[in-house]
Structure 1
Amino acid sequence: MVYTRRSLLQTTLLTLGGTLWRAQRVLADPGSRKLALLIGINEYPNPAKTPALSGCGTDVWLQQELLCGRLGFDPGDVLTLTDAQATGAQIRQAFQEHLRQQVRAGDVVILHFSGYGSRATQAALLPRDGLMTPDGAEWIAEAEVLGWLRQLATDRIITVLDTGYDYPGSFACGNVRVRACPPVAAGDISPHPNLRPPGVLFRAARPGSLATEALWPGFSAGTLTYALTQTLWGTTPGPILVDVAAQIAQTVGVNQAPEMVGSPQSLPPAVGAAGRVVQVTSEGVDCVLAGLPPWILAALAPESQLETAQGVALAVRSRQGLLVKTTSPEPVPVGEWVRERVRVVPNSLSLTVALAAELERIERVDATSALGSLSYVNTVKVGEQSADCLLGRVTPTTYGLFSPGYDLFPGTEGEADEAVKAAIKRLTPRLQTLLAAKLLQLTDNLAATPLNLTVTLAQAQTPLLTQTTTPLLTQTAPPAANTLIIPELPPASPLTCQISHQESQPLFALWLSINPSQQITLHPPQVVPSQTPIELALNTPPTPGLTELRLLLCKSEWLASLPPEPLPLAQAILTHLHQASERPPSKDTYALRMDTWAGLSLIYRVA
């Protein structure tokens, strides 16, 4: 199976004038009506049983922004129910009146739910008043929802359930919140037959895994909703599966495994947009950047530049959450899509380490002191803000580093009875490597680069992953049903990576491997001639876990000798891209022009 990422960057496509775009954009078909019911519940009446969530309202807003700002939904056809509006009776009534009574054959329907779920005799969603009746009468079984959907006159349906059914015994998991609560008594939920969902169903978690919401730069959101909406702003149906799963895995770790049931034929292709203009005032232009990956959004600094499809440059002045304030030399209409032109990021980014909740007060004091001696580390309390990793106990007497979702990083566990200060000293090289990996993520720009290229990862001549900026006139076969999986490969097995491009001059390729232990391996730079593919040979790591192949193709030649240490290497790469962008030297920032390089990553799992 091939997963393909196509960022169609031509201005004609950005302005919806291209025949290809009109032919492929199913959700924007003017001949069909598009209706959505979006439900998000942060506040439940009994905080002791269901502590308040913080990202469900954001999920509704992200979906509304995607549907109305990106996919052409009429705001009047998008009904939202949040918090007190989302009782069991109101949800059922809204479905009947807004969807069942209005939907006709060929219409497009979006149903979204964010909130708590649980599992007793069957999986169920928790409406606002779900725990207010002793018999569980207000719970809504997932099978009941699927039954509603099958009654609609259309099969062009996309359902997103950003909720979980398996409660792990705690509402917190590392630095993320769990969207599942303890099960109600067996038999409280009326039984419903298991039905295959019509259209496409995205679940935040497979059975036995967690559904979570995470802290992002300035806001909280469901990990599925944010990954899905961000991906739909900038990619096409093929890679939604692997891109969404990869982003969740990078955020949470192995504890959350999303899934998709059905074929994504109703999902739209993309044009590489970072966001859109939402307000124009006398002070400037406000844009929502829902299409940027979270690690890019968090680092985006003033003096970055966006551009409209007509080439109008917008200079970024400030950012708050997903909203950036910009200045423009000429009028820009509200609703105009924007993409990146110049990415400015600080050259003093730090690694944020959260201290796990189980650490005693004296351990937190010692850890804060030891981490404070590292100039590149910022220490926070778990659950208070976004973090790159956690420091916590592996056993009652050993320490290690974890993902924000409390997935242990391989090779970080120390020996028994190790003092926390000694553990931090031992882990210092790993902290530097984690910061290097964070800096390398800032080179992702496949949705913004105008370079025309294709990269394919294969094993035994079978393509596994393909990323391309080349518009394709034919659709690849849709991925199989019941999948939202990162490709899994055996350890120490051979791979090939083919690189080709259509630029008039050679491109210079730099590629790095990041194994499950976050060890970064630099491979020799390669020259990629115009219209002449080259093939790189590599092996999967011998240890299981998430593995990344990061590739950068630049118009200017890489230095023959780059630093071997991870952190100096990442800094040297960003310095090279800054210089290739023909920007003056800066003590404080890297300024990276999108038209000088292409940066991408191919992620797979070693089983």
Structure 2
Amino acid sequence: MGLNRRTFLQKAGWGLAALGVSETVLSLLGDKSLAVPLLERYFQVLAQPGGRKLALLVGINEYPRTTALAGCVTDVELQRELLIHRFGFQANDIVTLTNSQATRETIETTFIEHLTKQAEAGDVVVFHFSGYGSQVQMPQQDETVASAVRWQNSFVPVDGILPTKGEPAANDFLAETLALLLRSLKTDQVTTVLDTSHTQAVNILKGSLKVRSSSRQPALAPNPDELAFREQLVQRLKASSKPWKSLDKSMQMPGLVLTAAGSSQPATEAQWNGFSAGLFTYALTQHLWQATAATSVQISVSCATGMINQFAGNDQQPQLTGQKSQNSLLAYYLSPNPPLGADGVVRGIEENGKVAQLWLAGLPAPVLEHYSPNSVLELLDGESLILPPSPPENSSATDNPAQPVPKSVQLQLRSKDGLTAKARILSGNGGEKVQPQVGQLVRERIRVLPRNLGLTVALDTHLERIERVDATSAFASIPSVSSVVVAGEQATDYVFGRGKKQATETSEPKFKGGYGLFSLARNPIPNSLGEEAEAVKSAVNRLNPKFKTLLAMKWLRLTANEGSSRLGMRASLEMIAPETKTIIQRETWRTSVGFATNKTKKNASNTSPSVGSATMPKLPIGSRVQYRVENYSDRPLYFMVLGLESSGGAIAFYQQLPSPEGLESEQNPPLISGAIKPGETLILPQPSASFNWMIPGPVGVAEIQLICSPSPFKGAIAALEAAMRPKGEGERVGDLFNPLEVTRAILQDLHQASNITPDKLGIGSDVYALDVNAWATLSFNYQVVS
């Protein structure tokens, strides 16, 4: 069947836009150092598998005889929607097994029938498991595994415990069985995603997160039926044309294997308003919704790790193993289509075509949780991705707008329930009414957030009843805290409890020491723990300044939009001593092609949106760093840099005017609203600056936010002027003593820069309305090490 002109242009535009192959890039062909890597990635996209795409997704919440999980079935839905709408899987080629369906025998039989018997060479296969993990003691003499493994990781099916007269017997799905099943596939292009863990969990609830490790004692022997099935797989493989090789101790699986946590770490799931999900599955799939065609699987896992660290700290570090050359491999061995990313999809049309049902799993979970009615999204039309004609070299950006004018249809949010929403269909640019189609992708345009946002604090379940009563009463007088809940029952931001865990002979841990704040994974918030004799009410009042700082950081995280911003910028965190290397690189993905002028884009480097391994980047105490910020938009970009050091204190980057020559003043010179011109790169601090940006202790996690806008941050600069800050002139990094006031001023500046009148959206004065054309926030999370 032939292609009409519209379809051809869409596909051609998507293909070229995937890697920015515009006239600008093609003009670089004379410079092989720039052109060749880009075109190699482009041709990798063109040569991606054209065969069948098969998936088996398993998620189990409802385990009998043990504490139920809540997010595993959601994980399956997250993967299914992603594979269909971003990677082109057919719905009937995806089999899901959830809850009572996911018995050991059914999982193994379905794997053979759906994957082994159907997948051919060159096909793409995905296997996903979300549920409890455990361990099983294996027979001492086992010829299948080289140097027999005493304890083997296992996946707990819904019938993982067999009722017996004596000690319950395990009926687990062994890691070795999975490895053998994966070997039985005819294709090498297989991705395995395991959102589970195998360390025994004394308590399923860890702070306010649920751990996906079974709390039962590891089984002393596997089910004989499982061993018999495993032997059948071994004999089939030996009889096949594939060369047989015993499994090694690592149980190395073919293809790419993505695991939610390290071998001795817990995998966890979190609860947000309206839904629960595995931290890893949500972070991974959310990033892949927004990913571009040039995004490798390593970058995807690295970006997912950044989100997980905000919830679980260093306790959960995803792992990527398998095939070599991970730096160039695409997730699922496929390029997402279209290549510029999306934030959701239309799942249905109702009310006679006036309302669209949306799936919004492309938004970061914290943002989605607070996404308010009247937020606006636009339908993604393939024609809007086609690159505009290149402007003449001597023309200005105003004469030749870099951004094409798409035939956009906007959708205004009316209500939201977890991951789904209903939106009113607005008219297109020309005023015509356009009917969305089921399966059509949507992208964020205007983010509406409530101004009255506060922190939700959970009370640790180990607190005594009288302690919880006193804490609830004390929190009523803390303006930054909007609600107090019991840990594990509702979505929360932080946990309030006692500090030190005391080892006991029983399975139930006891906590002693002073009161303090903890992350959702129950890691202490730096400098929040008090003395053991401190009263509950005194502790809550003592923490009032800490709550302001943490609320400010919550606000800053809600501005994160590197996946949806339309401002063309890139920034990197670089170590310059004791060695020189790039630690983290971030970029606004939707402006990497099509929205920058030729002149400015030529000055931007051709690199991926992120660099580094799949684990959290590390910086040693005392190392010197700098930020390199590139502006490849067609407008000047003003910037703010602020965040949290590993000590838990808020800091800000200042630029101050020099004092008049010959005059001394006890007051600080006024601050500058720093800006980067179009096509230019700015280093912070500048090499000529009188100070060095040093990484202080202690060991811990630091988080820095870089916020840019075409409009000056007048309110934020005024708020900074009102705060105590280091004396002197030039550039400085200093303590931020009023982080909440500065953060609110930043939000107000962005709200004003968006210039959205209330009557336009029907919004009130109790919200911020932020246009994705008006700002970009890039996050830099790293671990400070000794």
Pairwise TM-score range, normalised by the shorter structure: over 0.9
* 3-state SS, counterpart of residue 81 of structure 1: strand
* 3-state SS, counterpart of residue 534 of structure 1: strand
What is the CA-CA distance between 1:133 and the residue it aligns to?
5.5
Structure 1's unaligned 5+ residue stretches are 1-11
- Equivalent of 1:216 in 272, 275, 280: 272
* 3-state SS, counterpart of residue 165 of structure 1: coil
Equivalent residue number for residue 252 of structure 1:
312
What is the CA-CA distance between 1:15 and the residue it aligns to?
9.6
Equivalent residue number for residue 614 of structure 2:
484
Q: Does structure 1 residue 129 correspond to structure 2 residue 159? A: yes
Equivalent residue number for residue 780 of structure 2:
602
Equivalent residue number for residue 575 of structure 1:
748
> What is the identity percentage for the equivalent residue pairs of Structure 1 and Structure 2?
39
Equivalent residue number for residue 261 of structure 1:
321
For residues 71 and 273 of structure 1, what CA distance do their matches in structure 2 show?
12
Q: Which amino acid aligns with 1:580?
A: A
What is the CA-CA distance between 1:140 and the residue it aligns to?
1.4
Q: Which amino acid aligns with 1:171?
A: I
Assess, with a 3 A threshold, how the Cα gap between structure 1 residues 25 and 43 changes in structure 2: closer, same or farther.
Answer: farther
For residues 77 and 25 of structure 1, what CA distance do their matches in structure 2 show?
24
Q: Does structure 1 residue 107 correspond to structure 2 residue 123? A: yes
For residues 284 and 138 of structure 1, what CA distance do their matches in structure 2 show?
47
Assess, with a 3 A threshold, how the Cα gap between structure 1 residues 442 and 45 changes in structure 2: closer, same or farther.
Answer: closer
Assess, with a 3 A threshold, how the Cα gap between structure 1 residues 390 and 581 changes in structure 2: closer, same or farther.
Answer: same
What is the CA-CA distance between 1:30 and the residue it aligns to?
6.5
Maintained 8 Å contact 1:166/1:180: yes
Assess, with a 3 A threshold, how the Cα gap between structure 1 residues 380 and 63 changes in structure 2: closer, same or farther.
Answer: same
Maintained 8 Å contact 2:587/2:609: no
For residues 600 and 217 of structure 1, what CA distance do their matches in structure 2 show?
25
* 3-state SS, counterpart of residue 592 of structure 1: strand
Give the TM-score taking structure 1 as reference length: 0.92
Kindly provide the CA deviation profile for residues 531-590 of structure 1, in whole angstroms up to 9, marking residues without a partner as x: 110101332232111111210111011224324401111100000000101134753010
For residues 68 and 602 of structure 1, what CA distance do their matches in structure 2 show?
31
Structure-to-structure mapping, 1:79-478, within 5 angstroms: 79-120=95-136, 121-132=151-162, 136=169, 138-181=171-214, 182-188=216-222, 193-194=248-249, 195-235=251-291, 236-237=295-296, 238-262=298-322, 263=326, 265-267=329-331, 268=335, 271-282=340-351, 283-310=354-381, 311-329=408-426, 330-377=434-481, 378-395=483-500, 396-460=512-576, 461-469=580-588, 470-471=592-593
- Equivalent of 2:719 in 526, 539, 562: 562
What is the CA-CA distance between 1:321 and the residue it aligns to?
0.3
What is the CA-CA distance between 1:381 and the residue it aligns to?
1.1
Assess, with a 3 A threshold, how the Cα gap between structure 1 residues 261 and 183 changes in structure 2: closer, same or farther.
Answer: farther
For residues 397 and 254 of structure 1, what CA distance do their matches in structure 2 show?
23
The 10-residue stretch of structure 1 (51-60 or 27-36) with the greater mean CA deviation from structure 2: 27-36
Maintained 8 Å contact 2:135/2:219: no
Q: Which amino acid aligns with 2:217?
A: P
For residues 261 and 557 of structure 1, what CA distance do their matches in structure 2 show?
45
Q: Which amino acid aligns with 2:682?
A: I
For residues 415 and 43 of structure 2, what CA distance do their matches in structure 1 show?
36
Q: Which amino acid aligns with 2:379?
A: T
* 3-state SS, counterpart of residue 87 of structure 2: coil
Kindly provide the CA deviation profile for residues 307-351 of structure 1, in whole angstroms up to 9, marking residues without a partner as x: 112311111111110111101133111111111111110000010
For residues 516 and 16 of structure 1, what CA distance do their matches in structure 2 show?
45
For residues 705 and 699 of structure 2, what CA distance do their matches in structure 1 show?
18
Assess, with a 3 A threshold, how the Cα gap between structure 1 residues 223 and 468 changes in structure 2: closer, same or farther.
Answer: same
* 3-state SS, counterpart of residue 773 of structure 2: helix
- Equivalent of 1:39 in 58, 73, 79: 58
For residues 349 and 59 of structure 1, what CA distance do their matches in structure 2 show?
28
RMSD between aligned residues: 2.4
What is the CA-CA distance between 1:186 and the residue it aligns to?
3.1
Kindly provide the CA deviation profile for residues 382-440 of structure 1, in whole angstroms up to 9, marking residues without a partner as x: 11111100000003241110001111111111012100000001111111111110011
Structure 2's unaligned 5+ residue stretches are 1-8, 20-41, 137-150, 231-246, 382-407, 427-433, 501-511, 594-603, 655-672, 686-692, 724-737, 759-763
Give 4+ residue runs of structure 1 displaced > 4 Å after superposition: 12-16, 22-30, 133-137, 189-193, 471-480
Give the TM-score taking structure 2 as reference length: 0.72
Maintained 8 Å contact 1:42/1:52: yes
Q: Which amino acid aligns with 2:683?
A: E
What is the CA-CA distance between 1:271 and the residue it aligns to?
2.0
For residues 435 and 498 of structure 1, what CA distance do their matches in structure 2 show?
28
Maintained 8 Å contact 2:637/2:676: yes
Q: Which amino acid aligns with 1:534?
A: L
Q: Does structure 1 residue 536 correspond to structure 2 residue 712? A: no
Q: Which amino acid aligns with 1:374?
A: I
What is the CA-CA distance between 1:496 and the residue it aligns to?
1.2
Structure label with greater radius of gyration = 2
For residues 514 and 137 of structure 1, what CA distance do their matches in structure 2 show?
46
RCO higher in structure (CA 8 A, sep ≥6): 1
